[in-house]
Amino acid sequence: MTTATLPEVPVSQSLFSDTEASGGDFPYRSLSRAAIASLVLFFLALPGLLPTFEPLLALAIFGIIAGVVAISTVRRYPHEYSGGLLGQVGLMLNAFLLVGGTSMHTYIYMTEVPDGYSRVAFYELQMPESMPDGPTSRAAELDGASIFLKGYIHPSSGSGLLNRFVLVPDLGTCCFGGEPRSSSMIEVILPRGQSVQAGLMRRKLAGKFELNRFNTSPDKFENPVFYRLKADLVN
């Protein structure tokens, strides 16, 4: 009497026979790092909606790219990678953030200057580092003009509510650059009875710009200040 013998099945085939029967998927697929990066970049770019941190919105561009890479990778290698849906979510979130944030800041920029005031960029008042410090020709043109500009309250101006302070162009000058050059400072004087809270938020100011012809120094500052702003509005 003879007995039938079953054919030998290679070990490699037996290990994957179940997954092949269920559709050929491998038991484990790596989550796409690009999909994770897309979501991380979205959260890092989110503070870009705030006025002080607009440049962070640029991170959303890289989030969009990461989302596209994640979707493409999962489609090309479906057995090795997962996270296609995660990549799609990251792509959409970053796209909405970039378009919405850019539109919002553009609208604010176009409407933020009060009637009767002219926008002035702080760099127009700053003498280049390679040249001796002093008032710029643009500052001389603006003497007595009603202007609108943005800046940061220098911490040496004090804490709490201030009715007089020194304005500087950026956080580096404000917090990490020591005492700024004279052409990088504006002494701001608020109307009687008005004050503003000290802090690291960027401020928007409108008022009458003047050259400080006596080159005096505010309290706690060694360098003279060339410019003064008699503010009408501070936000």
Most confidently modeled of 40-44, 128-132, 193-197?
A: 40-44
Instruction: Output the pLDDT for position 224.
Output: 83
Q: Give the mean model confidence (pLDDT) for residues 31-56.
A: 94
Provide the mean pLDDT of the chain: 86
Q: Give the mean model confidence (pLDDT) for residues 81-97.
A: 96
pLDDT of residue 207 exceeding 80: yes
**Which domains occur in the chain, in start order?**
11-111 (no CATH), 118-234 (2.40.50.870)
Q: What percent of the chain has pLDDT over 90?
A: 67
What are the CA-CA distances from residue 12 to residues 17, 27, 33, 78, 115 (Å)? 9, 14, 29, 21, 78
Q: What percent of the chain has pLDDT over 70?
A: 83
Whole-angstrom Cα distance, residue 61 to residue 48? 12
Say how far residue 123 (Cα) sits from the centre of its chain. Answer: 19
Instruction: Output the pLDDT for position 175.
Output: 62
pLDDT of residue 3 exceeding 80: no
Write the Ramachandran bin of 80: left for phi over 0, alpha for psi from -120 to 50, otherwise beta.
alpha
Whole-angstrom Cα distance, residue 121 to residue 149? 6
Determine contact, residues 224/182, Cβ cutoff 8 Å. Answer: yes
pLDDT by residue (tens digit) across 61-70? 999 999 999 9
Q: Give the mean model confidence (pLDDT) for residues 170-196.
A: 83
